Structures are given as structure tokens and as C-alpha cells.
């Protein structure tokens, strides 16, 4: 068993972070602190919890430049974009703060003479948040802030690729003078994650990651009768109808496919284009893709950084090779992206045509800058192909007809359906999915329901 967490920067393959994994005694102490602190934290008025969490968010934002560079060095997203994730963290936190009072208020039932009856929303206790590296702040904030506001204590286990994110979030809460034990983090390996999930102190698990990882979390929690939220990724489709604004569709979907080097659960991997627009769409998508600059993510001109590690790049290249072997064509010349070479984490963007659903590219998640594009005869074929996936996180339609978009959206199997946008998360709406994307909800008022439990009060006031 490894004793140290080691983070290798994808920028140059150097060791960037080394931390000792938490020992069994440290884990036990963390659990006990959380359990003890949670009772007092839940007893505080919501107004006090809001003030402390809000103060922590402000401290966090003030450290934006340091956090942005830490993200870039740990997982490779271009520095020109990473500060935006700090802003996104604050925006989501503030929204969940704004709706907390209403979301956590007592549920009133019809009055009945001689009785007082209502349902309260009680904290689940200690929430374990297991966060991934691809959006290390945005995935974490989805559960951390509402869990704390609901009166829970939180233990954050971040990816070994982005451990500094856990430390920097914790630092902001310390600066805000959050009571000790209410928010903590642990650097632990997979076996100790199972130990945490087994612990009686844990009352809920929020996991974002792979389908395989989600199965492990479910298995670890089996028999504990606690809630488990699983957001497990996607293979997200977009449909460009014949009435779409093609310039806008191309610009939006190319960005949706390649932002963060394609390492987004809700990034676009499959595009279906109405036949009359197909040729034009392809030409414009290729031209725009060729404008990307693959390079060192610390350089200001870089718009496409490396994927997270060389092993991940090898997996992307294997998906590309399989598609090509089955007849697909890549319309992007890899030689125009000089850093894209085997044995490195740098991968050129790829726009693939002559694809079908017998290819991994079109039927499974591929965390890399690749997209497959197919022509379709119309709405019926597009809906059929969009639903032909084991995942269901988001789906998009590009059209000028809102009624058509609503009609299509009602038939597409997905957690979020977009018209004229993609690769976006609105904190006012429930973030959820279907099929292998997992189960549970974060964000929105519904997200609070998953981080609390209902408690009914039935008081007979007249004897």
C-alpha cells in the first residue's frame, strides 16, 4: 500500500504535490470531530450558518489567482480559463445560499383542529464528498455548501490529482472561522475511502466520477441504509435541426466538445446534424477546430492543454484508433498540433465523420478532445440516436423553434435538456441523470432534499 499521495503535473511530467495519506487514527479522529461538531453546528440558526459560509466564499474568491494556477498545474487546463472555475464556485455557492431559507423551511400540511402538524428537514449528519479532478471546484461545491447550510458536517476526499483544491477550500473555511470539525478534508487511498463509507459516522455520500467508481461506492455503502448520490458522467449528444443558426451552433458545440480538453461529464461527444446543414456544419467545425492552440497551459496563447495524464491520453488514442479501423475519418490533421505525440498527455482535437454507434467514440464516454458527427434525416432519427446510449446526463438541440425543442426534449432520455446551449450547469436547476449516469440530485431546492431527511411532527394539542 502506498504511503504517499503523489500528483504528477501533466504539463511536464514532474512531481507537483506529495502528501502522506491519512492514517487509521487520523481518519478516526476526523470522523469523531465531524460527529461532535455537527450537533452544535446544526443547532445554530440558519442565519449564522449562512454568514459563516458566505464569509468562507469571500475568502476563497480573494485567493483566485493562486487557486487558478494550482488547478492548471495539477490537471492541465489552460490558465486563461481556470480563474473562471473560482468564479463558478462562488456563483453556485451564492445561489444555494440565496435559496437555503426557503428550501429548508418547514413543510406545512393542511390545518387540523386540535393538532399541530408539520415536516421538518433534518440534517443527515456527516456528509462525505468524493470529488474528481476534471472540475475540482465545481463538482465539490455542489454538495459542500448545501450540506453545510442544511446543518451537516462535511468531510471532503478530493482526487489524488487535485489535492490542493481540498486544502485551499479548507483554508477559506478556517479563515472564516468555521467551527473546528464542521468542514474537514482527508487525503486517503481507495481502500481507506471504503473504510470511510463503512464508518457509522457517515450519513450520506456524494460521489462524482466513473461508472466503475460509482459501483464501488454503492457496494461499500450496501447494508448501511444511507443515501448515496452518484454522478457518473456521460456521452452527451447534440442535435442541429435544419432551422438552427448554424454559425452559433458550430461555435457553441465546438467549444462544448473541446473545452477542458474534452474532459467534461456533460461535454459534447456526439453531434447529429440535419442533412441540409451537414456539409456546411462540418466545414465550419473543422475550420474553427483548426484555430485551437495545443500547448503549455501556463502560456497565455494556449487554448487546449494536455489531458490529465499520459495513461488517459493513451485511452483516448485507443478510442481514435478503433474508430479509424472501423471506417471513421478524422478531418483534423494531427501534424498541425506539434505537441500531440504518443507517450505524452498532449492530444490534438479530432473531428470524426463516417462514424456510427458501433464505435466506442459514439457509445461510451471518452474523456478527450474528440467528437463524432453524423447526418440525420430529421427529428425522429435524431431522437432515436440521442437515446441510443448507456448514459443520460445532458442533451442539446439547436433550433429556432421552442415548441419543437420542448417536444424533442420530452422524448430524450436525459437529466438536463438544453435548447441552443450545452456543457453548462444552472444551479437553479436539478443536476441529475439517468441510466449509467447515476442517480441522485445536487443543486437547486431539490438538492437540499437529498442532504436532509424528513422528520414529521404530529402534536395533539387538545385532550
- Please give the Cα distance from 238 to 416 (Å, whole number): 12
User: With the C-alpha atoms ordered 25, 30, 33, 35, is the resulting torsion angle positive or negative?
Assistant: negative
Rounded CA separation 417/412 (Å): 8
Task: For residue 435, give the C-alpha cell.
Answer: 441510466
Q: What are phi and psi of 148, to 5 degrees?
A: -65, -45
Query: Would you tell me how many other CB atoms lie within 10 Å of the CB of residue 112?
Result: 10
Q: Whose CA is closest to 86, among 168, 160, 13, 152?
A: 168
Q: Which helix (H) or strand (E) holds 386?
A: helix 379-387
For the question of residue 122 being annotated catalytic, the response is no
Nearest Cα to 3, choosing from 213, 188, 199? 188
Reference 40, options 153, 188, 172, 137; nearest CA is: 153
What whole-number distance in Å separates Cα of residue 277 and Cα of residue 376?
10
How far apart, in whole angstroms, are the C-alpha atoms of residue 406 and residue 411? Answer: 9
Cβ of 317: how many Cβ atoms within 10 Å?
A: 17
Catalytic residue (one of 24, 231, 365, 384): 231
In angstroms, what CA-CA distances link 75 with 7, 241, 251, 257?
A: 9, 36, 25, 18
Distance CA 374, CA 392 (A): 19
Angle between helices 190-198 and 24-43 (to 10 degrees): 40
Contact 414, 394 (CB under 8 A): yes
* Grid coordinates given for 429: 436547476
Q: What are phi and psi of 423, to 5 degrees?
A: 50, 55
Identify the CA nearest to 381 among candidates 406, 356, 416, 354: 356
Cβ pair 369, 362 in contact under 8 A: no
Catalytically annotated residues: 231
Amino acid at each position: 500500500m502506498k504511503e504517499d499521495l503523489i500528483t504528477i503535473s501533466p504539463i511536464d511530467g514532474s512531481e507537483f504535490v506529495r502528501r502522506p495519506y491519512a492514517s487509521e487514527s487520523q481518519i478516526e479522529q476526523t470522523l469523531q470531530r465531524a460527529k461532535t461538531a455537527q450537533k452544535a453546528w446544526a443547532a445554530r440558526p440558519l442565519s449564522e450558518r449562512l454568514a459563516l459560509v458566505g464569509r468562507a466564499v469571500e475568502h476563497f474568491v480573494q485567493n483566485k489567482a493562486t487557486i487558478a494556477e494550482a488547478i492548471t498545474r495539477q490537471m492541465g487546463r489552460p490558465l486563461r480559463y481556470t480563474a473562471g472555475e473560482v468564479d463558478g464556485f462562488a456563483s453556485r455557492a451564492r445561489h444555494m445560499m440565496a435559496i437555503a431559507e426557503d428550501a429548508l423551511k418547514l413543510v406545512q400540511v393542511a390545518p387540523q383542529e386540535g393538532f399541530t402538524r408539520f415536516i421538518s428537514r433534518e440534517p443527515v449528519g456527516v456528509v462525505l464528498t468524493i470529488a474528481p479532478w476534471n472540475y475540482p471546484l465545481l463538482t465539490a461545491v455542489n454538495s459542500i455548501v448545501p450540506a453545510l447550510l442544511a446543518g451537516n458536517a462535511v468531510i471532503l476526499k478530493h482526487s489524488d490529482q487535485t489535492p490542493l483544491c481540498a486544502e485551499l477550500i479548507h483554508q477559506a473555511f478556517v479563515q472564516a472561522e468555521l467551527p473546528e470539525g464542521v468542514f474537514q478534508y482527508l487525503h486517503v487511498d481507495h481502500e481507506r475511502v471504503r473504510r470511510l463509507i463503512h464508518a457509522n459516522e457517515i450519513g450520506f455520500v456524494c460521489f462524482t466520477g466513473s461508472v466503475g467508481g460509482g459501483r464501488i461506492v454503492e457496494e461499500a455503502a450496501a447494508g448501511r441504509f444511507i443515501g448515496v448520490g452518484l454522478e457518473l458522467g456521460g456521452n452527451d449528444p447534440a442535435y442541429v435541426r435544419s432551422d438552427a443558426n448554424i454559425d452559433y451552433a458550430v461555435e457553441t458545440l465546438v467549444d462544448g466538445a473541446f473545452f477542458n480538453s474534452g474532459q467534461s461529464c456533460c461535454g459534447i461527444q456526439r453531434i447529429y446534424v440535419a442533412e441540409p446543414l451537414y456539409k456546411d456544419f462540418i466545414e465550419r467545425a473543422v475550420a474553427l477546430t483548426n484555430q485551437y492552440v495545443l500547448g503549455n497551459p501556463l502560456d497565455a496563447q494556449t487554448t487546449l492543454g494536455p489531458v490529465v495524464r499520459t495513461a488517459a491520453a493513451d485511452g483516448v488514442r485507443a478510442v481514435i484508433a478503433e474508430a479509424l479501423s472501423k471506417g471513421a475519418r478524422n478531418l483534423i490533421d494531427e501534424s498541425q498540433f506539434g505537441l500531440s505525440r504518443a507517450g505524452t498527455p498532449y492530444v490534438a482535437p479530432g473531428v470524426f465523420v463516417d462514424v456510427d454507434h458501433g464505435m466506442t467514440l459514439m457509445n461510451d464516454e471518452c474523456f478527450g478532445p474528440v467528437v463524432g458527427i453524423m447526418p440525420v434525416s430529421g427529428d425522429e432519427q435524431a431522437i432515436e440516436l440521442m437515446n441510443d446510449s448507456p448514459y443520460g446526463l445532458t442533451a442539446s438541440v439547436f433550433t429556432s423553434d421552442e415548441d419543437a425543442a420542448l417536444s424533442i426534449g420530452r422524448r430524450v432520455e436525459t437529466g438536463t435538456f438544453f435548447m441552443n446551449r450545452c456543457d453548462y450547469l444552472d444551479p437553479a436547476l436539478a443536476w441529475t441523470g439517468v441510466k449509467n449516469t447515476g442517480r441522485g440530485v445536487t443543486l437547486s431546492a431539490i438538492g437540499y432534499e437529498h442532504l436532509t431527511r424528513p422528520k414529521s411532527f404530529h402534536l395533539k394539542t387538545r385532550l
